[in-house]
């Protein structure tokens, strides 16, 4: 009897250990339902782990990882569609697809929402968390190290008195402290005009204020999107095209999602800073 009881106990312990190991194992069918989540999944996970990415993942105007997304099954983010994919991990975006995320959670699926990244501290934390969830922690640390090397090189020659740059979006919107755009600008060695004017993460910069302050650089954060619109046509205003500043357009895919490749946007901005005439570099 004692031997039988011991055998039963051993079997139960083995089953429990096996269950714990399965719970801690890397997911085998990951589904992303948000553009920003797509980027991390495509960079961190093994391809065989990815069951589906969002339909935006292959849009090379918005997705930095569009090439890597080719050939993977796209989804439109509906709960019925995601259930049919039999995921063991679903990655959703910050405050997006709320009804889908709620329905999947109610059905017992594991759904993780990405944090809204507004600076590199959040980006590092997000990389580590997602890499851990995907069973790819070493890959995540390599990604962070490469990103930090790029940031260090970009900031290496930042002058004591920084040149002023202005973020100018369609309809005169701008971004100050608390925004990803602000974090990229300051990491590249610029002072942000919106912050100097006391604006928060989103503000409105009148054309008159822009012209009167004469920043060294004007950054078009809508990139070179070819889609015509009255809002984008404002960039052709003579006051903007004839101003004393240098202008840089950053493609949407480099900054729309806070990620490791945001350091590439910083490098572009830092390169522009270095190319400024001597009198405008500080």
- 134-154 pLDDT, tens digit per residue, is 999 999 999 999 999 999 999
232-251 in b/e form (b: 16+ CB < 10 A) is bebbeeeebeebebbebebb
Is residue 222's pLDDT more than 60? yes
What domains appear along the chain, each with residue ranges and CATH number?
Answer: 26-114 (3.40.50.1980), 148-276 (3.40.50.1980)
pLDDT of residue 232: 73
Q: What number of H helices and E strands is found in the chain?
A: 13, 11
Is residue 225's pLDDT more than 80? no
Which residues are 264's β-sheet partners? Answer: none
Is residue 12's pLDDT more than 60? no
Q: Looking at 51-206, list the stretches that DSSP marks H as alpha helix, in order from N- to C-terminal side.
A: 66-69, 79-84, 98-106, 120-133, 137-155, 180-187, 193-196
pLDDT of residue 69: 97
Q: Which residue has the tokens 């942000």?
A: 192
Average pLDDT over residues 235-252: 85
Q: Could you tell me which of 214, 205, 210 has the C-alpha nearest to residue 170? A: 205
Q: Is 31 left (phi over 0), alpha (psi -120 to 50) or beta?
A: beta
Considering only 113-117, 156-160, 213-217, 239-243, which range has the smallest mean pLDDT?
Answer: 239-243
Is residue 21's pLDDT more than 50? no
Is residue 239's pLDDT more than 90? no
φ, ψ dihedrals at 135, nearest 5°? 70, 30
Name residues whose C-beta falls within 8 Å of residue 205's C-beta, 6 or more positions apart in sequence. 166, 168, 172, 173, 174, 193, 194, 197, 199
Q: How far is CA 135 from the centre of its chain?
A: 20
pLDDT band at 223 (very low <50, low <70, confident <90, very high): low
- Percentage of the chain with pLDDT > 90? 69
First to last CA, the chain: 85
Order of strands, sheet of 164-167, starting from the edge strand that comes earlier in the sequence: 191-192, 164-167, 217-220, 246-249
pLDDT band at 51 (very low <50, low <70, confident <90, very high): very high
């Amino acid at each position: 009897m004692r031997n039988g009881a011991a055998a039963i106990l051993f079997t139960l312990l083995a089953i429990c250990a096996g269950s714990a190991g399965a719970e801690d194992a890397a997911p085998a069918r990951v589904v992303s339902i948000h553009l920003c989540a797509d980027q991390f999944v495509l960079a961190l996970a093994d391809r065989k782990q990815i069951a589906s990415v969002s339909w935006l993942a292959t849009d090379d105007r918005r997705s930095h990882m569009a090439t890597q997304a080719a050939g993977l099954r796209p989804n439109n983010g509906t709960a019925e569609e995601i259930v049919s994919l039999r995921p063991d991990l679903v990655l959703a975006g910050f405050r997006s697809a709320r009804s889908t995320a709620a329905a999947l959670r109610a059905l017992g699926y594991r759904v993780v929402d990405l944090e809204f990244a507004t600076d590199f501290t959040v980006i590092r934390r997000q990389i580590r968390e997602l890499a851990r969830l995907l069973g790819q922690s070493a890959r995540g640390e390599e990604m962070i190290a490469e990103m930090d090397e790029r940031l260090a090189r970009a900031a290496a020659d930042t002058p004591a008195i920084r040149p002023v740059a202005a973020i100018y979006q369609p309809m005169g919107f701008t971004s100050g402290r608390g925004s990803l755009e602000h974090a990229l600008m300051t990491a590249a060695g610029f002072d942000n005009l919106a912050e100097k004017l006391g604006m928060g993460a989103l503000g409105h910069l009148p054309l008159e204020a822009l012209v009167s302050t004469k920043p060294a650089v004007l950054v078009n954060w809508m990139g070179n999107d070819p889609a015509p619109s009255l809002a984008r046509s404002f960039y052709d205003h003579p006051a903007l095209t004839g101003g004393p500043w240098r202008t840089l357009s950053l493609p949407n895919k480099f900054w729309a999602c806070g990620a490791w490749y945001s350091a590439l946007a910083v490098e572009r901005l830092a390169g522009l800073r270095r190319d400024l005439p001597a009198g405008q570099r500080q």
